[in-house]
Amino acid sequence: MLAQIHVTFKEGVLDPQGKTVHHALNDLGYDEVLDVHIGKYLEIKLDSVSEEEAEIRVREMCERLLANTVIESFRFKLVSTE
């Protein structure tokens, strides 16, 4: 099983990289770009674990280490690799 995890800044936390890319896209003429958020994407391969267990354990991994929940939020998807 594969956990596909996205970690991004919470709403209201300044994202200087996102802001710079936003300006760059506007400068290139993409006026429709309203906002850009840059985050992290992680892929974690899991072995011998049920989907229910994986759901609990991946959430725990995010809360304990992968995201700093003071400034970041996370979401993930579990994908079967069989």
Partner 1 sequence: MKCGIVVFPGSNCDHDCYHILKKVLNQETHWLWHKDNADLSSFDLVVLPGGFSYGDYLRAGAISRFSPVMNSVISFAKKGGKVLGICNGFQILVESGLLPGALMQNHTRKFICKNVYVRVESTHTPFTQECSDKSVLQIPIAHHQGSYYIDPHSLGDLEEKGQILFRYCDAEGNITDSSNPNGSVSSVAGLCNAQKNVMGMMPHPERCADPLWPNVDGQSIFKSLITQS
Binding site for partner 1 (CB under 8 A): 13-14, 16-17, 20, 65-66, 68, 70-71
Closest CB 16 distance from partner 1, rounded Å: 5
Closest CB 51 distance from partner 1, rounded Å: 26
Closest CB 10 distance from partner 1, rounded Å: 10
The torsion defined by the Cα of 6, 8, 11 and 17, in degrees rounded to 10, comes to: -140
Q: If DSSP codes are grouped into helix, strand and coil, which group holds residue 46?
A: coil
Q: If DSSP codes are grouped into helix, strand and coil, which group holds residue 60?
A: helix
Q: Which CB, 1 or 5, lies closer to partner 1?
A: 5
Q: Within its chain, how far is the Cα of 49 from the centroid?
A: 22
